[in-house]
Chain A
Amino acid sequence: MEAAMDLMRRMPPSLSQQALDSLLALLPAHSSELLSRSDQPLQVAYDEEFDKHYLLCDYNRDGDSYRSPWSSKYKPELEDGVQPSPELRKLEQEANEVFAIYRDQYYEGGISSVYVWEPEDGKGFAACVLIKKDGSDGGDGRRGLLQEGAWDAIHVVEVKEDQERQMGHYCLTSTVMLALTTANRASGPFSLSGSITRQMESDISLEPGHLCNMGRLIEEMESKLRNGLDQVYFGKTKEVVFTLREPLGVMSASSHVGQTLQRMIVNDLAHSR
């Protein structure tokens, strides 16, 4: 399993589905662990009743059916599918509405779904917020810059309440997967893809309410991940390329040109004494 997970961590993100399928074929005995430990882009389903799309994950699944966050009905139909308690369902509905607005403001399109459930130990509750955006020219991309553009965010929050101190303990684990290919035909394909997972824990007053608290945490986390990917991670790939092939004629202390020049100068100085 460790070798398999190692492989999954290094595969080009755009081939992760293929890699997973291959590993599942090689290690059928480990299939459930492989599926639960590796992240895959989110799949979409359609709720005819509400004329809305929703996202699929383990948390809205019962057997082979998935529950819509809008109608709370399973597709394919299930007679006794798992349902959240009325209280949690109310929170779930509110969360779906509010996150839809959040999603619109940050993503200018895309699909979001929130699922809420009670964890096995019965204490507090858990929620997952899923956001999927297709930013390609053929999808929701507004500026025509991307031939391919996929963003999948999976946030899982575990919430415990301390009623006495009126404080909530929120533990957030977030994964973002993205893949983009620019559409500039003249300069050839330029593709970046990646995934990162981070965790955040926070103790917040219960006063603003769970939705606000979770929302702010997720917003903060998404910004961190977006900036991290953009500046740190993509920046590192740029560093790798520019180390493989240096821009010529550019003098810097570490470039080949710079170093050669440095040696020449030092030599000259030594000889001119």
Chain B
Amino acid sequence: MDERLYDQAAKEAFPEYNVKNMISLEMPDGSGQVLLTEFGQLDRSRYLDPRTASVAVVDHVKQVCTEVRPADDEDLPSAYVEGFRFSVDAALMKYVDDAFQGGECSVYCTKGKDVEKSGGEFELTVVICNSSYSPKNFRGGCWQSVWRVLINEELRTATLQGTISVNAHYFEEGNVQLESSRKFNDTVTLQDGKDAGTTIVHVIEHLESVYLSSLEEQYSNLSDRTFKELRRKLPVTRTLFQWDKALQLSLTREITREFSNKR
């Protein structure tokens, strides 16, 4: 009875967990890792890997990729869109390799995948995920960025809408967690002769660095400013609390009270 309940619960919980946490699984044909995200989800157990144009079949509970097949044409973007997707993916991989040790990334076409040249706008979604879990060091954390990039080749613009979410956990003889997120909006011009992918990823890199700096600032303000709202390091007098004087004060108050009661 318990076994069945567990299986039932696991079947529901694991897929949700895996996709929310953007886990990456090794593809059995040796072609790399597949990222499990809502953007590549074809159905409950099949996920598209745009980089290798293949579909990965996964066992959510075992967290394993059991099979890889080439994707159907209908799941892939047009050659025109793929050109852009490929260029962004190439630049992205370089950026992720530099900035995210152990991180994984992917670029999906999430709107207008059948668009041809001069056929209008299309949207690419850039996903970066880096997580680290070290239970024996009592720490863990995850960085996720999702960037929606709307490309309009006629106007030569790429409009970016990004959300970065970070969480970190340290729990050696205690339990402390950080949760932080930030949204960004930006538009960049795609110039002739300049690789679109490089231009777009450059903006992403810049904005993510801006976010990291603002985190740095938040942390540096913590001890002397932010924390003070909860508890000061010392009283305004800059000395420890005068326990003996306070006792005298309280006794004086009591005597005064007794006195006024007797009237």
A contacts, CB < 8 Å to B: 9-13, 94, 97-98, 101-102, 105-108, 133, 135-136, 141-143, 145-146, 149-151, 178, 180, 182, 184, 187-197, 208-209, 211-212, 215-216, 219, 222-223, 226-231, 233-238, 240-248, 256-257
Contacts and interface: CB of A to CB of B under 8 A. Distances in A.
Given A9-B171, A211-B247, A241-B168, A230 B227 contact: yes
Contact of B219 (A135, A141, A142, A234): A234
B104 to A, nearest CB: 12
A2 to B, nearest CB: 16
24 contacts: A9-B175, A11-B175, A12-B177, A94-B251, A98-B247, A135-B230, A188-B180, A188-B181, A194-B174, A195-B176, A208-B244, A212-B247, A219-B240, A222-B231, A230-B223, A234-B176, A237-B169, A237-B176, A237-B177, A243-B101, A243-B132, A244-B103, A244-B130, A244-B132
Pick from A12, A101, A182, A190 the residue with the most CB of B within 10 Å.
A190
Contact of B246 (A12, A101, A150): A101
Given A244-B101, A256-B101, 7 more contacts: A106-B231, A106-B232, A149-B229, A215-B243, A234-B222, A240-B139, A245-B212
B243 A223 contact: no
B223 A212 contact: no
The secondary-structure label for the interface of chain B is mixed
Interface of B: 98-101, 103, 130-132, 139-143, 166, 168-171, 173-183, 205, 208-209, 211-216, 218-219, 222-223, 225-237, 240-241, 243-244, 246-247, 249-251, 253-254
Contacts of B250: 94, 97-98, 101
Contacts of A216: 243
Contact of B230 (A11, A151, A196): A151
B177 A192 contact: yes
Most buried by B among A188, A194, A196: A188
A248 B205 contact: yes
Contacts of B240: 219
A31 B164 CA distance: 39
A248 B132 contact: no
